[in-house]
Structures are given as structure tokens and as C-alpha cells.
Amino acid sequence: MSPLITLVLKRVGLGVLTLWVISVLIFVGVELLPGDLAEEILGQNATPETVAAFRRELKLDLPPHARYLAWLGGLTEGDLGNSLANGRPIAELIGWRFANTLFLAASTAVVAVPISIFLGILAALYRNSLFDRLISMATLSTISFPDFFVAYILIALLSVQLLLFPSVSNINPQMSLLEKLYAIVLPCLTLTLVVVAHMMRQTRAAIINILSSPFIEMAHLKGLRRARVVVRHAFPNALSPVINVVALNLAYLVAGVVIVEVVFAYPGMGQLLVDSVTKRDIPVVQASGLIFAATYVTLNLLADVFSIISNPRLRAPR
Amino acid sequence: MAFLQLLRESPISARIGVAMILFNILASIFAPLVAPYGETEIVGDVWAPMSAANWLGTDQVGRDMLTRLLYGARNTIAIAFATTLLSFSVGIVFGFLAATLKGWVDQVLSRVVDIMMAFPTLVFALMVLSVVGTSIPTLILVIALLDSTRVYRLSRAVAMDIEVMEFVEAARLRGERIWWLMRHEILPNAMPPLVAEFGLRFCFVFLFIAALSFLGLGIQPPTADWGSMVRENAGAITFGIFVPLWPAAAIAFLTIGVNLVVDWFLHLASGLKDYE
């Protein structure tokens, strides 16, 4: 087997292991609750019958390892249990919202990735110029603003003053794709601004790092044209760090949607997680936390795998 | 005094940053003296516009916005600072331990940190808070613990570099104990990167608490705090009233100030001279 495949398989194995440990952590976290979960949540006035029913519902009457196996078994079959708040199956609650969150994240990625790579490369090529400084200033201030500040400024400008876009992104399955896209313009723009700032800075740093390496200087000294140096020498080596930057930011996006979804009342996973935490609806929190973690770990894994595959140094046999 | 000396040679951006931070610190220390009203005192109409009596207008129940901002500075900054201090103490101790003891201690600590970092911080914090409930001590503990993973990584890496130097070896041969090594040999030499990181982590923690409060899961009302002030007043914006922008701008103001100073520190620590 080639060393490349071994390396990739190792990473995948590590990802699966991480996910498994996270599932144990999520499960044990609830176990470690001081006192009894049932009484904690139902309050002191709960009758013994309600407490008993609640314990049965959460399978608290079983020993911990049996409960963990039952929970994990349910997960693999797509059965996530029932919500405590309204008794509906969690899979039903999550399915549609997860698709919505992915829709928002994907739309943002389509806009943000090309812009930030383009700006990052430009800033790196013309570094320390006026253009580079302007961009650095702009991105630094965007990073310093909390996500919800950016969101409210956009609402104030584009929704309240100019009446261009809706300030509430309430989408439903009956809407056409175009209507949905129109509804998510503002959340998408907010996320784009935040992600572009991070991604652009990291792209710039990665490219500058490559441009200052000895082999690029060598190429210049050989008298090659600037365009050839950038395309043939710098680009293949820059691909791996840039892919890494993109994937890491997509992973960041998955968690970053939480706040933006709350601001724009967008029916996604983030909104669901925050609501369930407020209601202390533990099974929903566990399930959605695990889904967030799985997405995050998968994206980080993809980042690793792609950067291994695209790195000329790792691809070549030692 | 050495700091004043440094400041005299600093670029203008760093001076602005220092001034911005000082302004915030003074505001939070002297909040009860400067604030025109009490923290939770209701002084006027809901969302009254700016006037001589309420310089920045009033909030969603008619409390003075300026007063709330000043008290908010106090609560928000104090909590973020306590959290960052705690996260640094934990992170540095474990990071240095891993670097000096190596072996299985390092392996165990590093794998635990890897797993914690493989999880989005906000989601992790939300899940923990859902179980333990929201109060200021749990908030500080949970965020400090999550954040100490980043500090651990940095201090371990820095200590690894210092640990192989001759003077540490000499101290070790002298028979000094591990705590002494960490405290007197490694820590002083690890200070510059750790100080810069402290600024960055403080910003992160500060924004993080603001985000949690904004989600309604951080600092609870009626305590004034910038994140929850944005949340409570958010509805105003659809009526064309811009009060939520004040606390949000205050958050951004402090973060930019700290970032400006951190940039200067990083530049000093890196020893680069080529860039003015």
C-alpha cells in the first residue's frame, strides 16, 4: 500500500475514534449531573409518578453501560429518541433543520470561498501596498465585531433603511429555491463577511509563507517570468495550505451559524440547539450536539485528507 | 516603568489601542461614580431618544443606556478577565508539566486536548451549560476549561523549546524540583509569547461571553452586560431605533483596542525590524 493511502486511512481512523470519544463524553456528561436528572429538571414539586415516568422515558432505570449501548444503537438506526419538551421524535425535528443549516452554510461557502481566495492572493502579491493595508484594516475590524453586531448593522442598513431584504429569514419547505435564496440574503451576507475576514487573512499568510521560501527565490533568480513563478512554482505548493484554510473555515461556519440563525430566526440546527438548551431538553441537546460534532470532525478530516493529497511533498515517496 | 519606555517607542496604532483599553478600564472601575443613574433604575420611557437627561437614550424598560453601558463594562470585562486568568493558570501549568515530564503525562494530556479541540467550542459550551445550568461561576469555569486547551498547546510548544536549553539542564543537574524549574527557568523565558496570547485569548473569551449572553445563556438579567443588552434591545432595530448598536459597538471598541496592542506585542516578540 502506498504511504499516502496509509496516511489518509490513519486520519480517517483517528476521526472515527474522536467521534466515538465525543459520543461517550456527551453521554457521560449527562451522567455526571449532580443529583438526579429527573428531579433536577422536573423541579422539587414533581410527583413520584412523573419522576418515575420521566426516568423510564430517559431509560434512567437501566445501568449506564446498557443505556449508552441502547442510545448508540438507536443512533445508528436513525432513532434519536423523543424530545422531552413536546414528545416528538428528535429525528423528525432535526432532519429538516439540518438540511436548512447546510443550505445556509453551503450558500455562504459558494459566495465566500472565491472572494477570500482571490483577495488573499492579491493581498499577498501586493503585500504592504496601500491595497493590502486597506484590506487588513477592514478584515481586522470585521474580526473584532461580534457576529451579531455585523448582523444588526446589516439589518439596520439593508432591511430597515433601504427595505431591500427581509430581516427575518423564515423559510418553509413550500418555498421555491429562488424565494429561499432571497430570504437568506442577510444571514448569508453576515456569515460571508465574518468568514471572508478570517479566510482571507489565513490565505494571505499561507501564500506569503510560500513566496518567501527559498525555491521561489531560486525560480526568480533563474530569471523566470513572474507569472510562471506564481502559476508553476508557488500555486501547487500553496494549494495544500489554502485547501486547509477553506475546510477549517467551513467547519467554523457550521458552528458560526448558531448565532446568525438566532438573529434571523432561521429554522436551523443552531436555533434548535439554543432553544433546547434554554428548555433543558437534554435528549435534543445530546443529539444535535453530536450532529454538530460529526459535521465538524468530518470537515476537519476532509481538510486533512485534501491537504495531504494536494501536497506535492507528501505525495512524493521519501 | 519599562512599559512606559516601550510605549514611547511604540507605533501610533499601539498607543491608540492602549488608550482604548485604559478608557474601558477606567470606565469599569469608576462606573458607580460617573454613571448618572443606578444600574437597574428606571428613569424614563421605553427606548427614549438621546436627550440631555439620557445622553444615549434608554433601553427596553426605560433604563439609562449610558449607565447600563458603564456598569456593563464592569461586569463584562471583570468576568472575561477572571476567565482568561483561570484558563491561563490551568493551561500553563498543564502545558509546562507536559513539556518537562514528557512521556505518558504528555501523551495523555495532549490526546485529551486534541479531543476537546475537535469539537466546536460554542456547541460544547452550550451542551455543558444545558446540563450544569447557567450561573456566573459555572460560566467562568466552563469557558476557562474550554479555552485552556488553546493555552495548553501554546505553552507546551514554547516550553518544549526552552526545556532543551543548557540553563534548564544545569538547573536539573543541580537537583531542582519540577515546580522550581517551571516557575524560575521556563516561565520567565516563555513570557513574551504568552503575554501576546493573553490579549488574543481575552478578546476571544470576551466575544464568547458576549455571544453566550446574546443567546440568553450567559450573564442573566438584570445584571448589565453588553451581550445581553444587545439581545434585550434587538427588537428596537426593526422600528428603526438603533440602541442595540451601542453595546455592540462597545464590544467592538474594546476588542479592536486589545487587538491593536496585541499586534504590537507580537511584532516586538517576533523581533522583526523590517516593517514600520
The confidence score (pLDDT) of residue B275 equals 41
- Whether residue B185 is predicted with pLDDT greater than 60 in this model: the reply is yes
- Whether residue B83 is predicted with pLDDT greater than 90 in this model: the reply is yes
User: For the segment B198-238, what is each residue's pLDDT rounded down to a tens digit?
Assistant: 888 888 888 888 888 888 887 777 777 888 888 777 777 77
Residues near B138 by beta carbon (within 8 Å), at least 6 away in sequence: B129, B132
Higher pLDDT: A45 or A176? It is A176
The confidence score (pLDDT) of residue B274 equals 42
Query: Is there a domain that residue B206 lies in?
Result: yes
The CATH number of the domain where B107 resides is what? 1.10.3720.10
What is the least distance, in Å, from the CA of B48 to any CA of chain A?
A: 18
A304 touches B at CB < 8 Å: no
Chain A segment 152-191 residues within 8 A of B by beta carbon are 152-153, 155-156, 159-161, 167
- Whether residue B19 is predicted with pLDDT greater than 50 in this model: the reply is yes
For residue B225, which of B26, B41, B78, B37 has the smallest C-alpha distance? B78
**Pairwise CB contact (< 8 Å): B126 & A258:** yes
Range of lowest pLDDT (A126-130, A221-225, B105-109): A126-130
The confidence score (pLDDT) of residue B89 equals 93
Chain B segment 122-141 residues within 8 A of A by beta carbon are 122-124, 126-133
B4 touches A at CB < 8 Å: no
Residue B202 C-alpha cell reads as 481575552
The backbone torsions φ and ψ at residue B11, rounded to the nearest 5 degrees and listed phi first, read: -70, 160
Range of lowest pLDDT (A160-164, B121-125, B256-260): A160-164
Residue B27 C-alpha cell reads as 470606565
Residue B99 C-alpha cell reads as 513539556
Q: What is this model's ipTM?
A: 0.74
DSSP letters, B220-264, are: PTTS--HHHHHHHHGGGGGGT--TTHHHHHHHHHHHHHHHHHHHH
Inter-residue contact B125 to B145 (CB < 8 Å) = no
Query: Is there a domain that residue B19 lies in?
Result: no
User: For the segment A64-117, what is each residue's pLDDT rounded down to a tens digit?
Assistant: 777 777 777 777 777 767 776 677 777 778 888 888 888 888 888 899 889 888
Q: How far is B111 from B253, CA to CA, in rounded Å?
A: 37
**Pairwise CB contact (< 8 Å): B242 & A263:** no
Query: Is there a domain that residue B262 lies in?
Result: yes
**Pairwise CB contact (< 8 Å): A273 & B114:** no
**Pairwise CB contact (< 8 Å): A153 & B238:** no
Query: Is there a domain that residue B125 lies in?
Result: yes
Grid coordinates 502506498 are at which residue? A2
The confidence score (pLDDT) of residue A37 equals 59
**Pairwise CB contact (< 8 Å): A251 & B256:** no
B110 touches A at CB < 8 Å: no
Cis peptide before B222 (omega within 30 of 0): yes
Inter-residue contact A108 to A195 (CB < 8 Å) = yes
Q: How far is A191 from A248, CA to CA, in rounded Å?
A: 15
Residue A241 C-alpha cell reads as 495550505
**Pairwise CB contact (< 8 Å): B120 & A128:** no
Chain A segment 238-267 residues within 8 A of B by beta carbon are 251-252, 254-255, 258-259, 262-263
Query: Is there a domain that residue B18 lies in?
Result: no
Residues of A in contact with B124 (CB under 8 A): 289
A208 touches B at CB < 8 Å: no
The confidence score (pLDDT) of residue A131 equals 81
How many domains in chain B?
Answer: 1
The confidence score (pLDDT) of residue A33 equals 58
User: Mutate which of B12, B209, B215 to disrupt the A interface (most A C-beta within 10 Å)?
Assistant: B215
B242 touches A at CB < 8 Å: yes
Average pLDDT, rounded, for chain B:
81
A141 touches B at CB < 8 Å: yes
User: Mutate which of A19, A22, A149, A286 to disrupt the B interface (most B C-beta within 10 Å)?
Assistant: A149
Torsion, Cα A17 A20 A26 A30, to 10 degrees, reads -120
Give the domain extent around B195. 26-35+44-270
Residues of A in contact with B16 (CB under 8 A): none
For residue A24, which of A293, A278, A298 has the smallest C-alpha distance? A293
Secondary structure (3-state) at B119 = coil
* Other CB atoms within 10 Å distance of the CB of residue A76: 7
Q: Where are the domains of chain A?
A: 103-279
Q: How far is A59 from A11, CA to CA, in rounded Å?
A: 35
The confidence score (pLDDT) of residue B144 equals 92
Inter-residue contact A203 to A245 (CB < 8 Å) = yes
- Please report, as a single letter, which amino acid is at residue A270: G
Query: Is there a domain that residue B12 lies in?
Result: no
For residue A297, which of A19, A46, A97, A52 has the smallest C-alpha distance? A19
- Whether residue A44 is predicted with pLDDT greater than 80 in this model: the reply is no
Residues of A in contact with B274 (CB under 8 A): none
Residues of A in contact with B207 (CB under 8 A): 146
Q: Does domain A103-279 have CATH number 1.10.10?
A: no
User: For the segment A231-243, what is each residue's pLDDT rounded down to a tens digit?
Assistant: 788 877 887 778 8
pLDDT confidence band for B90 (50 / 70 / 90): very high
A29 touches B at CB < 8 Å: yes
DSSP code of residue A229:
I
**Pairwise CB contact (< 8 Å): B123 & A144:** no
Residue B121 C-alpha cell reads as 467550542
**Pairwise CB contact (< 8 Å): B119 & A296:** yes
Residue A263 C-alpha cell reads as 438573529
Q: In Å, how far are A103, A184, A237 from A117, measured between CA atoms?
A: 21, 23, 15
Residues near A260 by beta carbon (within 8 Å), at least 6 away in sequence: A104, A147, A148, A151, A187, A190, A191, A266, A270
Query: Is there a domain that residue B137 lies in?
Result: yes
Inter-residue contact A284 to A84 (CB < 8 Å) = yes
Residues of A in contact with B211 (CB under 8 A): 146-148, 259
